[in-house]
Structure 1
Amino acid sequence: MAITMAGLNVAYALLLAGFTAIAIYVQVTSSTLSFPLSTGTTVLTIILPLLAAVNFFGTDLLKRTLPRRASASLTLQLYLPVVLQLIQGVLTVVLATLTAEGLEPVDCILEGNWSRLYRAKDDRALERIQDTFNCCGLRSIVDRTAPRGECKNIYKDRHDSCLSPWHASMQRSAGLDFAVALAVGIFQLVQLALFTVRSSKGGWASKRYGRTIQSIGSGPSDRLLGDGTANDDDDDDEDTSPEGNNGTSGTHHDYGTTEGGPRVQPSNLGDSSEENTWRS
């Protein structure tokens, strides 16, 4: 079981690392190609898998590292995981909503972004877009090109405008961010479900408590019957001596005679006139 859990932990860590790499790729692509995607959204998408890793692995680490009897440590162990789970859940919903907006048709937004770059004479940003998709201009090969009006003359092999491939690339990037947010949200739900199942079954504490209960009465003199009464079989199996076959008890109690010494006699009981049966 330990090997299985270790394998699951490794697989989960690799998945989160993959999600983080995808989010970083989207951030770099968005910055390079001047997508009208919020930088805050793409950066938070990078943070989301890292927060999920902290929630998944940090809780156990917190329990192992903090002193168990300190009141501040107990407060952290109780409330910090809950707060982090709430933050992750809210962030997942917000990012899924924001990235889903990038999947809708946004030609007008892209055109506004291109116009802003053209008015700012940011030819470097426009040329990065044109070079990436081997195109010129936005809606036609002569529409607001960079360098101004020279793209068609410089690049004779370019016959397509940039709006369609630029739009498709932006939608793909937004879709990747949306997939990251959705996948992290699903993993969080699975994690909470597994935690609920472990809690309902009692977890390690319940197993330890069960082992403690089973160990009660495990000693040779403390055996218990199913109804909780003591086992008296040992009392019936006492060793008997040969005299025990003649009707005497197998366990002989000698109340105090010593060989060659005086016999110890109790004082007279009852009427003093009765003869002592313990006469020497």
Structure 2
Amino acid sequence: MALICGLTTVASVVASACAIVALILGALSWSRTASLFLPLPQWIPVITTLFPPITALALYLANRLSSTAGTDNTHPLNRWRRLFPIADHLHSVISTIIATVALAYLYPENVLNCRLEQEWQEYFRAKDAQPIRTIQDEFRCCGFRSIHDRAWPFKDRTHGDDACEVQLGYGQSCLVPWTQQQQSASWMAFAAAVLTLLMKVAFYQAMRNRASWMSTRFGRQAPEYQRITHHPELQDGETGGDAEEGRHGTFLPRAHPRYDNEWNER
């Protein structure tokens, strides 16, 4: 019984830790994707941030609903219990999709560089100075592949290709540090999705162990009784006995194999 209780505690701690870490990683990925204009789709870090608390709340409510309804098939709450398997499978599918898409923005490296360049080219073609300037100021860099490659300030009649180098004094391109941030954000989104799945598994394990512990504990507290009747020949020769007891017999605790095994082990 102590072992079951210990496993329940460990599973609960693991589920809580996975939820907290997944929430932090999802929020960090969301923040970096938005602030550094990364090509990672915004919905990925958004879902990985919101999924852990939503999953924890849904698991808690589902457990409370199951405990309230019990095994009574006529209970009105049992209608909602039919949706549990569907929601469980849907949650697993969404988490798997998020993890897969996050990995797709990590490998292969040439595809990742192509996505980053397309993102930079869109900003440069639209003459959108804010994203490029933000990236350059964040990493103290100029241009994409080189310090003269589509850097801000943009080339015009008053600025040349070296305007960023001359005015800001940055001496490196933005490809390497920007790529590293893209990889970091994708890894955090992937880890958050996996941790959310682990949280669900740990929660189920904790509830299963708790149910086993409760059934074992209360099963021992309510021993069964068996009726011991007296032999007719012995009843005639007994003196001073209780007549009522002789008619109905004596009730004694029923021997349980758990007690024998427990004391024999000691």
Match of 2:224 among 196, 200, 215: 215
Match of 2:77 among 68, 73, 76: 73
Instruction: Say yes or no: does 1:165 pair with 2:164.
Output: no
TM-score computed with the length of structure 2 as normaliser: 0.71
Which residue number corresponds to residue 195 of structure 2? 183
Which residue number corresponds to residue 268 of structure 1? none
Distance 1:51 1:44 in 2: 10
Distance 2:185 2:230 in 1: 74
> What residue ranges of structure 2 are gaps of 5+ in the alignment?
156-162, 244-266
Matches within 5 A, 1:149-164: 149=155, 150-156=163-169, 158-164=170-176
Report the alpha carbon displacement of residue 127 of structure 1 after superposing the two structures with TM. 1.4
Instruction: Say yes or no: does 1:112 pair with 2:112.
Output: no
Contact 2:95 2:193 survives alignment (8 Å): yes
Which residue number corresponds to residue 150 of structure 2? 144
Aligned in 2, Cα 1:190/1:18: closer, same or farther, shift over 3 Å? Answer: closer
Q: Secondary structure at the match of 1:181?
A: helix
Report the alpha carbon displacement of residue 71 of structure 1 after superposing the two structures with TM. 3.7
Name the larger-Rg structure. Answer: 1
Q: Secondary structure at the match of 1:72?
A: coil
Aligned in 2, Cα 1:233/1:138: closer, same or farther, shift over 3 Å? Answer: farther
Report the alpha carbon displacement of residue 175 of structure 1 after superposing the two structures with TM. 0.8
Contact 2:7 2:206 survives alignment (8 Å): no
Compare 56-65 and 89-98 and name the one that shifted more: 56-65
Matches within 5 A, 1:9-20: 9-20=12-23
Report the alpha carbon displacement of residue 235 of structure 1 after superposing the two structures with TM. 4.9
Aligned in 2, Cα 1:189/1:66: closer, same or farther, shift over 3 Å? Answer: closer
Report the alpha carbon displacement of residue 32 of structure 1 after superposing the two structures with TM. 0.9
Report the alpha carbon displacement of residue 14 of structure 1 after superposing the two structures with TM. 3.9
Contact 2:132 2:152 survives alignment (8 Å): yes
Aligned in 2, Cα 1:231/1:168: closer, same or farther, shift over 3 Å? Answer: farther
Distance 2:194 2:125 in 1: 37
Distance 2:206 2:7 in 1: 15
User: Percent identity between the aligned chains?
Assistant: 22
Instruction: Say yes or no: does 1:102 pair with 2:105.
Output: yes
Distance 1:107 1:178 in 2: 19
Instruction: Say yes or no: does 1:35 pair with 2:34.
Output: no
Report the alpha carbon displacement of residue 17 of structure 1 after superposing the two structures with TM. 2.1
Which AA in structure 1 matches 2:105?
G
Distance 2:21 2:100 in 1: 21
Distance 2:175 2:85 in 1: 45
Q: Secondary structure at the match of 2:82?
A: helix
Structure 1, residues 215-261: CA drift from partner, whole Å, max 9, x if none?
233xxxx34xxxxxx465995696537xxxxxxxx999xxxxxxxxx
Which AA in structure 2 matches 1:84?
A
Aligned in 2, Cα 1:237/1:59: closer, same or farther, shift over 3 Å? Answer: farther
RMSD of the TM alignment (CA)?
Answer: 3.6
Aligned residues: 229
TM-score computed with the length of structure 1 as normaliser: 0.68
Which residue number corresponds to residue 239 of structure 2? 240
Distance 1:159 1:81 in 2: 57
Of the two structures, which has the highest relative contact order with CA contacts closer than 8 Å and spacing of 6 or more?
A: 2
Which AA in structure 2 matches 1:180?
A
Report the alpha carbon displacement of residue 51 of structure 1 after superposing the two structures with TM. 3.6
Aligned in 2, Cα 1:191/1:235: closer, same or farther, shift over 3 Å? Answer: farther
Aligned in 2, Cα 1:233/1:116: closer, same or farther, shift over 3 Å? Answer: farther
More helix as a share of residues: 2
Aligned in 2, Cα 1:170/1:15: closer, same or farther, shift over 3 Å? Answer: same
